[in-house]
Chains A and B, each alone.
Chain A
Amino acid sequence: MTIFPVEKIRADFPILKEKIRNKSLVYLDNAASCQKPQQVIDSIVHCYSHEYANVHRGVHTLSVRATDRYEGAREKVKDFINAQSTKEIIFVRGATEAINLIAQTFGKANIKAGDEILITAMEHHSNIVPWQMLCKETGAVLKVAPIDLQGELIFSEFEKLISDKTKLVSVVHMSNALGTINPVKKIIAAAKEKNIPVLLDGAQAIPHMSVDVQALDCDFYVFSGHKLYAPSGIGVLYGKQALLEAMPPYQGGGDMIRKVTFAETEYNTLPYKFEAGTPNIADVIGMGAAIDYLNEIGMDNIAAYEAELLDYATEKARQIKGLRIIGDNNNKGAILSFVLDKIHPHDIGTMLDSLGIAVRAGHHCAMPVMDFFAVPATARASFAMYNTKEEIDVLIAGIEDLIKIFG
């Protein structure tokens, strides 16, 4: 195998040169949001400097140029996740908005009192609350498949919860609180036996592995740009064309219509039917640049390198007395969630920050996961392709020192 060009990659991320409290930044909060390469930053500057106008509306040159770039990014997203058509790629604000969109359109049209929606016990709040809201409105019931103490889905229990009443299975591809990667192929196969559509929350998975929505055969796949080295405020809803065609629109307004009179309105075709109003043009173009950047490195190479980082960090963490990994299993992406005996995660977070190390301390928008493991919060180091083993050494040394100080 060729050597992963981590130093070359690091040089592309200007923020990695930043000093934090006079120390070199060790950025290990990538699961919350990751940093942007110069190529993405430049693409946004270039957009506003040379190719910005509203899209889909003007006959003038700049508008055509902006539209080409915007639709070009949609093409890149389509190829990146191997969707069949750009009609299946809807731009939204992020994973959260995508899930809410599905709940409010697909959900309201297809889910009725007594029906069931099946999720898992490791979901992010954004894949819990929209369904609770829908259940409250419709009288449907939210079912939750349990996880075990290693932080893995108990698949046999999941299977038992699939019933004739299940109208949607919505599960996280990779958990942000634990790092666990769900057996999505098995999940989808089990749901397909009963013709139940499956939504995958890919917010965490997408920067860590290559995703092929056709091979997966999922019905919906959602993710946010900001965790994919792309700008914040932009995300993607992938949906199979037939499902999207059948769904009522989400918001009404410009762009999503074909013809409006006061008597009635004819909706636009896909994907515009779901993109009411002026979209986030520059950030979509930025996401296109992020995808170009990732394609050049190769998602499989990234996955292999990050697996090495995670193994290294896990091995070292296991040797620290009093450290407990939350989500200790062998099907994980590059996330190390942990607690320390008698030291609260917030103290860990502040202490590590003073060494220039950015980790997340908290419930990670997954309070039910915290309850399950009976911890108020965890500290979480989450790795990206620009992190190094040396940075993990800094983290581990920091943890060892703070344990000494707390005594």
Chain B
Amino acid sequence: MFDDLRDLYQEVIFDHNRNPRNFRVMEDADRKVEGFNPLCGDRLTLFLKMDGDKIIDASFQGSGCAISTASVSLMTEIVKGKTEAEAEDLFRQFHEMTTGKEDKIDLEAIGKLAVLAGVREYPARVKCATLAWHTLDAALKNEQEAISTE
């Protein structure tokens, strides 16, 4: 059963879906941006605490599918301690990884995020994985309005 899906639904994804990390409201956030995928109804609010151009804390609230929940959960873990430029570079690499240009990915930098590479084979699900990162991008650019992947 579901053997074909092992690449998409890896155990790490189930784990983050069951127990999302950094799943909380951040009262003293410096940045707060909402992301919305109207096609699926995935909704998230991303909170960032900044120190200069460094992300010192990240958290989120919201509801979505396993892929989008795992993606945002993993993202909040990996961007902590990163500068804005480093986070933007991760976004670029994540985008490459999920849309199919493997050769441009620095596997070391991307670390655990690699578990999401499987969405490449599921075009209908790519947006689930990238919603978190588009929302982060908006937060870093300090765009206040809600962003949408459509």
Q: Which residues of A contact B (CB under 8 A)?
A: 21, 343-347, 350-351, 354-355, 361-363, 370, 375-377, 401-402, 405-407
Contact = CB atoms under 8 A, between A and B. Distances in A.
B42 interface: yes
Contact of B2 (A345, A346, A401): A401
B39 A362 contact: yes
A350 B122 CA distance: 9
Contacts of A402: 2
Contacts of B39: 362
A401 B3 CA distance: 12
Main secondary structure of the interface of B (DSSP, over half): mixed
Given A347-B65, A347-B66, A347-B67, A354 B40 contact: no
Contact of A354 (B4, B43, B124, B128): B4
Given A344-B42, A405-B1, 10 more contacts: A343-B66, A344-B65, A346-B42, A354-B5, A376-B42, A376-B43, A377-B41, A401-B2, A406-B14, A406-B17
Contact of A401 (B1, B42, B124, B125): B1
Contacts of A370: 41
A370 B39 CA distance: 12
A346 B125 contact: yes
B63 interface: yes
A343 B63 CA distance: 11
Contacts of B1: 355, 401, 405
Interface string B17-52: 110000000000000000000011111000000000
Contact of A350 (B63, B64, B125): B125
Interface string B62-73: 011111010000
A377 B40 CA distance: 7
Nearest to A404: B1
23 contacts: A344-B40, A345-B40, A346-B40, A346-B42, A346-B65, A346-B128, A347-B9, A350-B8, A351-B2, A351-B5, A354-B2, A354-B4, A355-B1, A361-B40, A362-B39, A362-B40, A362-B41, A376-B40, A377-B40, A377-B41, A401-B1, A405-B1, A406-B17
Interface residues of B, number: 24
Interface string B109-128: 00000000000001011001
A351 B3 CA distance: 10
Contacts of B5: 350-351, 354
Nearest to A343: B66
Interface centre among B17, B41, B63, B122 (most CB of A within 10 A): B41
Interface in B63-87: 63-67, 69
A345 B37 CA distance: 14
A24 to B, nearest CB: 15
A63 B120 CA distance: 49
Contacts of A351: 2, 5, 9
B43 A21 contact: no
A176 B146 CA distance: 29
Nearest to B125: A350
